[in-house]
């Protein structure tokens, strides 16, 4: 896996609807490994490689969960809304960057010191709409620099933990974006056409995937994303059996059936390919949560779809942890799936 690419993608800012910085990276990287690349009307980056049938869409979303400026009060403190699913518990005292049109502004989410908390306040879960962003700047400066609608991202730098393990921001889903680029790099001889799509606005409704899938109308589709790593002390086996280092996950259902229910043919093809190519894999049944595949597979008259997800700890929080070998094996599984698509066609 290209660690430098993952680092650049992780450090880039791309709150839902404000994916410009990530879009430029993906446009450049896919341009190096695809026959052609374009940015569509919705902001998806679409790379194309090969020609003829069948057509396969590989989708990885570019956006990340984050915050958006809602209101600036008379003292220069900023109220915000959440863009995507964020647990309010991870927000207090976090460092953020406000992406103003004038410049990036470092700030933090303020909170009352424990010395001043009343007993009932100590037991209370603070909701995000009771929180505020503090830039430390005079109110006049804040009012000149910040506008309603400016996005704010978690201010976290990518860290190499050693032994092929990485910590950083927005691994959901810059990990999938890195897997997408590397898979397209390795795809050289295959039947048909592969579309590599870096999608927008997944975290607020799978929106970019909907428009891209409608336009491309592929024969098959895979979502390349992350899934919940369940190998931490606070998660029981009945909640998740997924472990980091045990290989990528083949999705068997999303959101208890409210999301994608994979095409049996596609799922079987992925499992057969993984076994025969000796690629380690895990089977993942999602209780909640969806990927781009949840909307792709319902597009037009239906598109046979599946999902390959890299286990990641602490997704939708300021920091996550992934293992590089899981990403490498996700690339291998994606490449083998495409190279052996003829077997799926004959099934």
Catalytic residues: 202
CA distance 154 to 183: 28
Handedness of CA 200, 204, 206, 210 (dihedral sign): negative
Q: Where in the chain does DSSP place strands (E)? A: 36-39, 45-50, 55-61, 66-72, 78-83, 95-99, 104-110, 132-134, 151-154, 159-162, 165-168, 193-199, 220-228, 249-253, 282-285, 305-312, 320-323
CA 291/CA 95 separation, integer angstroms = 28
Number of H helices, E strands in the chain: 10, 17
Inter-residue contact 273 to 336 (CB < 8 Å): yes
CA distance linking residue 279 with residue 10, whole number of Å: 26
Q: What distances in angstroms separate CA 95 from CA 132, 156, 173, 241, one per listed residue?
A: 12, 8, 20, 32
Q: DSSP letters along 283-342, please?
A: EEE-SS---THHHHTTSTT---EEEEEEEEBTTTSS-EEEEHHHHHHHHHHHHHHHHTHH
């Amino acid at each position: 896996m290209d660690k430098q690419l993952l680092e650049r993608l992780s450090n880039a800012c791309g709150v839902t609807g404000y994916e410009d910085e990530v879009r430029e990276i993906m446009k450049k990287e896919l341009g190096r490994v695809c026959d052609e690349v374009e940015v569509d009307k919705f902001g998806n980056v679409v790379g194309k490689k090969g020609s003829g049938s069948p057509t396969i869409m590989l989708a990885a979303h570019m956006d990340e969960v984050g915050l958006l400026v809602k209101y600036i009060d008379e003292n220069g403190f900023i109220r915000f809304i959440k863009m995507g699913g964020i647990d309010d518990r991870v927000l207090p005292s976090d460092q953020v960057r406000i992406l103003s049109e004038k410049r990036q502004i470092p700030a933090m989410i303020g909170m009352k010191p424990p010395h001043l908390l009343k007993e009932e306040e100590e037991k209370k879960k603070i909701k995000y709409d009771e929180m505020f962003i503090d830039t430390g700047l005079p109110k006049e400066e804040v009012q000149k620099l910040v506008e309603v609608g400016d996005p704010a991202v978690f201010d976290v730098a990518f860290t190499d933990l050693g032994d092929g393990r990485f910590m950083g921001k927005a691994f959901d889903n810059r990990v999938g974006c890195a897997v997408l680029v590397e898979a397209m790099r390795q795809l050289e001889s295959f039947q048909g056409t592969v579309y590599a799509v870096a999608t927008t606005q997944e975290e607020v409704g799978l929106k970019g995937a909907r428009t891209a899938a409608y336009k491309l109308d592929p024969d098959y589709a895979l979502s390349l994303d992350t899934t919940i790593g369940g190998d931490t002390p606070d998660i029981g086996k009945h909640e998740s059996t997924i472990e980091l280092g045990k290989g990528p996950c083949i999705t068997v259902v999303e959101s208890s059936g409210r999301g994608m229910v994979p095409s049996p043919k596609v799922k079987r093809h992925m499992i057969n390919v993984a076994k025969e190519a000796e690629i380690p894999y895990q089977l993942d049944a999602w209780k909640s949560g969806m990927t781009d595949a949840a909307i792709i597979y319902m597009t037009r008259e239906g598109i046979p779809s599946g999902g390959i997800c890299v286990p990641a700890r602490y997704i939708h929080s300021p920091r996550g942890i992934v293992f590089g070998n899981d990403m490498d094996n996700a690339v291998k599984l994606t490449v083998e799936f495409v190279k052996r698509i003829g077997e799926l066609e004959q099934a």
